[in-house]
Amino acid sequence: MINEPLTEYLPQVRCTATLKRRLELVAADSITSNLADHIRHAVEQYVAGAEAGGQPAAGQQPATQPA
């Protein structure tokens, strides 16, 4: 998958200013500060977990993680 071209787009999503700032802080301390790279990685983990049976089924609300 790493060599697969990135030709598709996911829908834009809205989030709170707090969540955006938290993501920016995580990205700032990482190898890449590109937010798209971090979001792509999170989506890949989410999909892999759902495929393995570790995430809620479609239509169910994911569990909220404490801050």
Residue 46 lies in a domain: yes
Residue 5 lies in a domain: no
pLDDT of residue 30: 93
Look up residue 24 and give its amino acid: E
pTM reported for the whole predicted model: 0.69
Domain count, the chain: 1
Residue 12 lies in a domain: no
Write out the two tokens for 3. 């060599």
Helix (H) or strand (E) run with residue 36 in it: helix 35-51
Write out the two tokens for 24. 């920016």
pLDDT of residue 16: 98
Residue 59 lies in a domain: no
**What is the pLDDT tens value at each position of the chain, 67 positions in all?**
568 999 999 999 999 999 999 999 999 999 999 999 999 999 999 999 999 997 665 555 665 555 5
Closest CA to 26 of 17, 16, 39: 39
Residue 65 lies in a domain: no
What is the residue range of 37's domain? Answer: 17-51
pLDDT of residue 55: 60
